[in-house]
Structure 1
Amino acid sequence: MTTHDDATLPTRQMEPIKLDNLLINFTTEFQRIWDTNGTRAKTVAFWRPTPAPDALPGYFPLGDIAIHRDGNINGEVIAVVVREGNSPGDDTKGNALSRPTDFELYWKDSGSGAVTRASIWRPIPPAGYVALGLVCANDYNKPSLNAVRCVRADLVIAANVSDLIWNDKGSGAKMSFSAWSIEPPTAEPGDLYFTPGTFTGNQSYSKPVTPVTAYALRMQIPLQVTSPPQAPALSGHAKPPVDEAANVTQIARLPWFAVMDYVQPSEQLLKSPYYDLKRTDHYVLVGYERNTTDKTRPIKWTIDPVQSPRQMQSFNRQTSVDFERAWPNTAPSDVRTTKFSACLPKNFTHTESGSNGWSESPPLVIIAMAAKHKSVAVYLLESHYELTREDGTQVTGKIGYTDDSSVHLTQYPPEKEECPPLTTSTDTVENTSDANVIAQASPDLPTATDTVP
């Protein structure tokens, strides 16, 4: 007998994730299909995501979920549901979703002594579509073709079999079966892969090698890009201000399940279904020098990059977001049935060209050639990142980044030709070959050392 446990739904639903013509949302409402009550097997319960029609009309599950504990999960566990969206214009791809054409029996509990009958089935997808999970029934009949949906193959990526959820050892059933969780592969830069919370299985107790239902949904992390700040230019011999105007230049939008926050997942889904990771850029004056002599002379400044490994570790620990590699580092609990792998775009995090990196922050040495009777100013482009909830509040403190690829030199009066050569180094002053050569060649060279605030 199927039982249904009621739960209070959130008062509003999140804006769906849109992948081409596929709409993805989340539900906290489930229908219990079967559990191991009456058997000698370990405890497990199989549930079907059943979003209320008035809350998420037209949404379907991609498979059932298996929870290795008893008790009501409604309002606590969260799973993916999907529906067909409007075509973005390319009708050649077809619908994002399709009903399965049939079901293949994977297991039934005959001989187990369970209070109710049960069977587990694999949806057979039509050509060009894949099934993302198995389906449970509380009898020996095939599930309805409307029980789940299959997804168009170009919207998914092959996933991996992860941990054992349950097997029927000790149940007394004539057939053998084991249920396994699914985890996505490591995301490429700019991508986010996530599973709907479904499970795959094997008709034995061993881990399946090539399961036909192990897939993850794939999406690109939405990135809003605006114009970078204009590079400053000297307009006279007066020393310029230390800070130029700051611009929010890029915003990466992360769904709730990719961010750790200090609330229950269901509350997080309700209050902040999306988070904005904002990058703010501005130019900071490294140093200014006016050369009143009749000779070109080199000027040297030493500054400390603003990135701090300790701050980065703290940011990662409090949010799970990583700037240098894909995350998460640990798997979510069964409350967060959606497992994911996300990796920020390299041009967003400066990891495509920066030589310093986020983990190492040696002092940066900048050497500029000041032409005779010229004023020279050297700037460094500084980036700061903050993670905000939907209501605009910060999740944790900001972190900053600078490197030697974003140095800007300006002089007054300006020359028609290019500015004098500029040299940078990330070694310490004592170990910088350029600095030593200059010092040896010009022992009376005046040195100006400014620190970025």
Structure 2
Amino acid sequence: MLPSTGAFSMQPLQFNDLLISFTSEFLPLWNDKGSSAQKAVGLWRPSTTSDALSSFYALGDIAVGHYRNINQGKIVAVVSDANKADGTALRPPVDYQRVWHDEGTGAHSNLSIWRPLAPQGYVTMGLVCGVGYDKPSRHAVRCVREDLVVTAQLGELIWNDKGSGCANDLSIWSITAPEAPVGEAYLAPGTFLGHGSYAKPGIEAYSLRLALTTHLSDLPSPPVLTGHEIPSLDENTATLHACELPWFCVKDPELSAVEQLQSSPTYRLERTDRYRLGGFGHNTGQTPQPFMWTASKGELGTNARALAFNTSIDLCKEWPAHPQAFELSFSAQLDRDFTHTQRSAKGWSHSSPLEIIIYVPPKKAVAAYLLHSEYCLLRQDGSQVSATVSYTNGDHVYMSESPDTEPLPQEATPREEAAQAEPDLQVTGHDLIDNALTP
């Protein structure tokens, strides 16, 4: 059993000079019990009093559409400056503007809601509650430098005061992260925004930014034929690439969100590359002879679909596909060089045949290789989430010829420079969208 705690000793996420951590500890502020409002609402303040979060600040208060205790059941982002006191990532608000107060509702306690007024060059991420009708402290929240955030959208209605008896109207709304470009993740702060009307407001909303850290290695060197025998591939020539994913991007089927933070605040999506033999031919005659092989390109199996279903990680487009399944609103998209989708994502939908036609010189042997990649998602303890995904890249065919002849011209593809030589080659796919290689 994992310990019950709302402060996590995880390494903070960092974007430029902004540090992002998380809390599941909250202080109750107000609920509308005693009013006649048609909906329920509870307002809470993220707590950063633990030692692990002593340098972090809330971005705004939290609103939920019920009266239940949210401690250990909800998670929101809190922020700090990587440069501590001398940093410029965060600033306190210069003042507050009152949005609403509950006078006339009959609620058991008084409440006022305020909009922080950000300094120039900074933005407000959420509204803040006052104690009674008093203005909040300037230290209750922080504003974020505008280059560290992106414009977001308002999401669903959380609460309005219809039926409460208050003379002032109020509606409050969640914030939804926009679609992230490749190589980035956008995270909604978990706060709320609102105004003095029941209509959806056109006010500015913002999400936090994060870069998905991807480590791309060089491709393995293509195998080299040393004789006229069918080659065996050396497993040691495999190369590893990896992308680090923050916990909120992964829907772990075996862990709750709080358990993810406690045991695996980051995940690692690994791609292992190695070459697979696509065809081998030995021409024992005295004249060039044609050889033809059929290989498979694209995804082998349907594990990419299973990965997207189990974890919401989609290897070929922006995710999540089902945002309601997540604790936090976010969007993310993997680097296209990492996912082999810089040309086309069609290979992720099905496997298709790839025909390789080649003329082999007399008394020579030629081998054709395709780059094969396997993707696996790992927790911090090394355990695997979902099944391994297999993909064969059909954009390039790597050729190797047995020695003792003059090398033939190589195809103008930078990653094929390591091939020993290339005989005449033609590659055709059975669909017209994927690229074909011709000599």
Structure 1, residues 74-94: CA drift from partner, whole Å, max 9, x if none?
11111100111138xxx9xx6
Match of 2:42 in 1: 45
TM-score where L is the length of structure 2: 0.90
Q: Paired residue for 1:228, among 191, 195, 219?
A: 219
Matched, 1:357 2:347: yes
Written as runs of structure 1 = structure 2, the 5 A alignment for 1:11-410 is: 12-41=8-37, 42-86=39-83, 95-209=88-202, 211-212=203-204, 214-242=205-233, 244-245=235-236, 247-261=238-252, 262-305=254-297, 307-308=299-300, 310-332=302-324, 336=327, 338-354=328-344, 356-410=346-400
Residue correspondences, number: 415
- Of 303-312 and 400-409, more deviation after overlay is shown by 303-312
Q: Distance in 1 between matches of 2:265 and 2:69?
A: 24
- Alpha carbons 1:309, 1:358 under 8 Å: kept: no
- Alpha carbons 1:246, 1:280 under 8 Å: kept: no
Letter of the 1:373 counterpart: K
More strand by share: 2
- Alpha carbons 1:245, 1:283 under 8 Å: kept: no
Q: Distance in 1 between matches of 2:222 and 2:345?
A: 21
- Alpha carbons 1:116, 1:138 under 8 Å: kept: no
Q: Distance in 2 between matches of 1:308 and 1:241?
A: 22
Q: Secondary structure at the match of 1:357?
A: helix
Letter of the 1:319 counterpart: T
Q: Distance in 2 between matches of 1:145 and 1:26?
A: 21
Letter of the 1:362 counterpart: S
Q: Distance in 2 between matches of 1:66 and 1:304?
A: 52
- Of 135-144 and 161-170, more deviation after overlay is shown by 135-144
- Alpha carbons 1:47, 1:65 under 8 Å: kept: yes
- Alpha carbons 1:385, 1:398 under 8 Å: kept: yes
Q: Distance in 1 between matches of 2:301 and 2:178?
A: 27
Letter of the 1:68 counterpart: G
- Of 301-310 and 148-157, more deviation after overlay is shown by 301-310
- Alpha carbons 2:186, 2:331 under 8 Å: kept: yes
Match of 2:416 in 1: none
Letter of the 1:312 counterpart: A
Deviation at 1:228, TM superposition (A): 2.0
Structure 1, residues 120-164: CA drift from partner, whole Å, max 9, x if none?
111111011101111112311111000000111001000011111
Structure 1, residues 15-37: CA drift from partner, whole Å, max 9, x if none?
10011111100001001111111
Deviation at 1:12, TM superposition (A): 4.7
Q: Distance in 2 between matches of 1:393 and 1:355?
A: 28
Q: Secondary structure at the match of 1:314?
A: helix
Structure 1, residues 196-244: CA drift from partner, whole Å, max 9, x if none?
10111121011112x13x1001121011222321111111112101564
Q: Secondary structure at the match of 1:105?
A: strand
Deviation at 1:274, TM superposition (A): 0.4
Matched, 1:420 2:423: yes
Q: Distance in 2 between matches of 1:245 and 1:422?
A: 28
- Structure 1 unaligned regions, length at least 5: 1-6, 429-433, 435-453
- Alpha carbons 1:248, 1:278 under 8 Å: kept: no
Structure 1, residues 48-72: CA drift from partner, whole Å, max 9, x if none?
1112231211110001111111121
For the aligned residues, what is the CA RMSD? 2.0
Q: Distance in 1 between matches of 2:113 and 2:300?
A: 51
Q: Distance in 1 between matches of 2:110 and 2:208?
A: 32
Letter of the 1:237 counterpart: H
- Alpha carbons 2:289, 2:361 under 8 Å: kept: yes
- Alpha carbons 2:177, 2:330 under 8 Å: kept: yes
- Of 302-311 and 379-388, more deviation after overlay is shown by 302-311
- Aligned sequence identity (%): 42
- Alpha carbons 2:312, 2:322 under 8 Å: kept: no
Q: Distance in 2 between matches of 1:355 and 1:132?
A: 35
Distance change >3 Å, CA 246–CA 274, structure 1 → 2 = farther
